[in-house]
C-alpha cells in the first residue's frame, strides 16, 4: 500500500482550516445570509413596530431572532416579537385564539419571498373564516360584484377588529330605506343575528322548533325579536333556547286569577286567542253558559274580576251565593239586593243574563207600557219570572169578549186602547147609533149575527114583503135591496 507523504497531509489540513475560516468570515461579514433562501419581506404597517423593527427586512442579518433549532421552536421566537398574538393564543381570544395548530406560524406566514411579499396575504388565502362564527360565503363579492378584501369589513390588518359601521355603510349604500327600518327594529349589532350564511335570508322559522302559524304568521320579526320593542328581549340567531312558551310573550289574563295552568295551549291556539277551546270545543262564555261577561269584566272596586270570583270550586260549577255576596258588598247594594231577593227570589240567572237586560232596561223597546199597562206589576205578565218569549198580543192576556166573539177578529187596538178596555171606541161606524131617536141602540138590534153583517128587518114597519114591494116601485132589484146603508147612510127614509 502506498503511503501519503506527511507534508501533503499537513497541507490538506491547513487548506481545510483556511477554507472554514474564510467561510466563517464571510458568514460573519454577511450576517449569516450565505444560506438564506431569499430576501425577507419589507412590507410593514404604517406606524407599527414590534421589537423595534418595522418589518422583517430590518433584522434580515440576525437570523438567530427567528432560527434557534437547537434551543427552542420557531413559534416561541415569533411570539417574542408578536406579543399581542401570544396574548390571543394564551387567552384563546381574537383571531389567533381560534386557529387550529396555531404554533406553525410559517405555515400561514412564510417569508424569504422578496421585499414586496405581504406576509398576511397567504394567511388570508388559507384562513377558515367560519372559525370566527361568520362565513364569507355571501361576502366574497360586493354589490357591484367586485372582489371584497379584508379591509372592507375590518379596521386594520393587525387586529382585524370588525367595524359594524362599515357594515351599515355598505348595506345602506345598496338599500338605505330597508337598512334604516332594520336598524330601528333590531338595533345596530349586526353580528347578534347574522352569521354570513345568512340564516335570516330564506329562513324557515319552523326549523327553530316554533312554527309561525295562525296569528303568529301575521306578526313582524321585530314584535318578538326587536330591540326597539319595550320589554321584548332581542333573540340572537345563534341562541338555541329562544323563548317558545306563551307566557314569555303573553301575560296571563287577570281574569284567569290563577285558576288555570300556564300552559296556554291547553285552551288557546295560534289561530286566535279567542274563542278558547274547552274540553275540545270552542269556548265563549255567553254561548257556553248563556251568561255574558260584558258587565262582569271588573268588580265594584274597578279591579278585573277573576274566574274564581264566581266559580269558587270547579270552573264548570257556579255557586249563586257568590253573586249575592258580591252584590251585597256596601250599604247601597245590600239594601237594594235585600228587597230585590224578597221580590224576585235568589235564582239570579232566571232573570239576568249578564248583558244585563234588566239593568237600565227600556220596556218600550219590546212593548210600550203606557195607560193601564204602566200600573201593573212585572209578574202579572211575566209569571214564574219568565221574560224571554213573553206574548205581546192583546188576546194573549185579554180573552175576547163573548159580545163580539168571532165578529171583529183579534186586532183589538182598532176599538180598544191601553187607557182602558172599556168603553171601546168604534172607529169605523158611519151609521148613527141613535137611529130611531130613542138613544144609542144595542149592537144586537142590527147585528143579530156576526158584527160584520147587519139587517134592517124586524124594526119599525120593516117587514120583508112590504120592503120589497115598496122598493120594486122604485126599480130597485132584490140584490141591491140587501145593502140598505148604501142608500140610507144616515138611517133616514129619504
Summarize pLDDT for 361-394 with one digit per residue, the tens. Answer: 788 888 888 888 888 888 788 877 677 778 888 8
Residue 201: its pLDDT value, please? 61
- 44 three-state secondary structure: coil
CA distances from 65 to 17, 80, 90, 429, 444 (A): 29, 9, 22, 136, 144
Cross-strand partners of 53: 50
Residue 239: its pLDDT value, please? 39
Model confidence band, residue 46 (pLDDT cutoffs 50, 70, 90): low
Contacts of 98 (CB under 8 A, 6+ apart): 92, 131, 132
321-349 b/e with 16+ CB inside 10 Å = b? eebeebbeeeeeeeeebeebeeebeeebe
Summarize pLDDT for 84-142 with one digit per residue, the tens. Answer: 888 888 888 777 887 878 888 888 888 998 999 988 888 877 788 877 778 888 888 88
Model confidence band, residue 238 (pLDDT cutoffs 50, 70, 90): very low
- 354 three-state secondary structure: coil
Residue 311: its pLDDT value, please? 80
Residue 24: its pLDDT value, please? 56
Residue 123: its pLDDT value, please? 82
- Grid coordinates of 113: 419571498
Residues of the chain above pLDDT 70, percent = 81
Residue with cell 499537513: 10
Sequence ranges of the domains in the chain: 31-113, 128-244, 248-361, 363-414
Question: Average pLDDT for residues 471-491, to the nearest whole number?
Answer: 81
User: How far is Cα 41 from Cα 113, in angstroms, rounded to an integer?
Assistant: 7
Question: Average pLDDT for residues 160-175, to the nearest whole number?
Answer: 87
> How many Cβ atoms sit within 10 Å of the Cβ of residue 480?
12
CB–CB of 186/222 below 8 Å? Answer: yes
Residue 18: its pLDDT value, please? 64
pTM reported for the whole predicted model: 0.36
Amino acid at each position: 500500500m502506498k503511503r501519503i507523504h506527511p507534508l501533503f497531509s499537513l497541507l490538506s489540513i491547513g487548506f481545510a482550516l483556511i477554507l472554514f475560516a474564510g467561510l466563517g468570515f464571510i458568514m460573519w461579514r454577511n450576517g449569516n445570509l450565505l444560506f438564506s433562501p431569499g430576501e425577507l419581506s419589507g412590507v410593514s404597517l404604517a406606524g407599527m413596530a414590534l421589537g423595534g423593527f418595522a418589518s422583517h427586512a430590518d433584522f434580515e442579518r440576525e437570523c438567530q431572532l427567528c432560527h434557534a433549532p437547537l434551543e427552542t421552536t420557531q413559534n416561541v421566537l415569533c411570539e417574542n416579537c408578536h406579543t399581542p398574538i401570544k396574548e390571543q393564543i394564551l387567552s384563546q381570544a381574537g383571531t389567533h385564539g381560534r386557529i387550529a395548530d396555531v404554533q406553525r406560524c410559517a405555515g400561514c406566514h412564510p417569508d424569504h419571498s422578496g421585499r414586496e411579499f405581504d406576509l398576511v396575504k397567504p394567511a388570508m388565502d388559507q384562513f377558515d373564516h367560519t372559525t370566527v362564527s361568520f362565513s364569507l360565503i355571501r361576502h366574497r363579492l360586493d354589490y357591484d360584484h367586485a372582489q371584497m378584501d379584508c379591509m372592507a369589513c375590518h379596521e386594520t390588518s393587525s387586529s382585524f377588529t370588525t367595524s359594524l359601521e362599515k357594515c351599515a355603510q355598505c348595506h345602506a349604500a345598496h338599500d338605505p330605506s330597508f337598512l334604516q327600518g332594520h336598524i330601528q327594529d333590531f338595533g345596530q349589532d349586526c353580528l347578534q343575528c347574522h352569521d354570513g350564511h345568512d340564516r335570516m335570508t330564506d329562513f324557515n322559522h319552523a326549523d327553530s322548533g316554533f312554527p309561525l302559524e295562525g296569528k303568529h304568521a301575521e306578526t313582524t320579526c321585530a314584535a318578538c325579536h326587536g330591540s326597539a320593542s319595550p320589554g321584548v328581549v332581542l333573540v340572537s340567531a345563534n341562541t338555541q333556547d329562544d323563548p317558545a312558551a306563551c307566557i314569555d310573550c303573553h301575560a296571563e289574563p287577570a281574569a284567569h286569577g290563577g285558576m288555570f295552568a300556564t300552559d296556554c295551549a291547553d285552551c288557546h291556539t295560534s289561530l286566535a286567542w279567542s274563542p278558547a277551546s274547552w274540553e275540545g270545543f270552542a269556548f265563549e262564555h255567553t254561548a257556553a253558559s248563556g251568561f255574558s261577561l260584558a258587565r262582569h269584566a271588573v268588580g265594584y272596586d274597578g279591579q278585573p274580576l277573576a274566574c274564581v270570583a264566581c266559580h269558587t270550586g270547579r270552573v264548570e260549577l257556579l255557586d249563586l251565593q257568590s253573586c249575592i255576596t258580591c252584590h251585597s258588598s256596601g250599604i247601597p247594594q245590600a239594601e237594594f239586593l235585600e228587597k230585590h231577593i224578597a221580590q224576585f227570589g235568589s235564582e239570579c240567572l232566571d232573570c239576568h243574563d249578564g248583558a244585563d237586560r234588566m239593568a237600565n232596561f227600556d220596556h218600550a223597546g219590546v212593548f210600550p207600557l203606557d195607560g193601564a199597562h204602566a200600573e201593573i206589576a212585572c209578574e202579572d205578565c211575566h209569571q214564574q219570572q219568565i221574560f224571554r218569549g213573553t206574548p205581546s198580543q192583546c188576546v194573549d192576556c185579554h180573552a175576547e169578549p163573548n159580545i163580539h166573539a168571532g165578529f171583529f177578529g183579534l186586532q183589538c187596538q182598532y176599538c180598544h186602547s191601553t187607557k182602558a178596555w172599556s168603553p171601546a171606541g168604534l172607529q169605523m161606524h158611519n151609521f148613527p147609533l141613535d137611529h130611531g131617536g130613542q138613544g144609542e141602540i144595542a149592537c144586537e138590534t142590527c147585528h143579530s149575527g156576526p158584527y160584520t153583517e147587519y139587517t134592517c128587518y124586524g124594526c119599525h114597519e120593516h117587514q120583508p114583503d112590504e120592503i120589497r114591494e115598496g122598493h120594486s116601485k122604485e126599480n130597485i132589484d132584490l140584490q141591491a135591496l140587501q145593502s140598505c146603508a148604501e142608500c140610507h147612510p144616515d138611517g133616514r127614509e129619504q
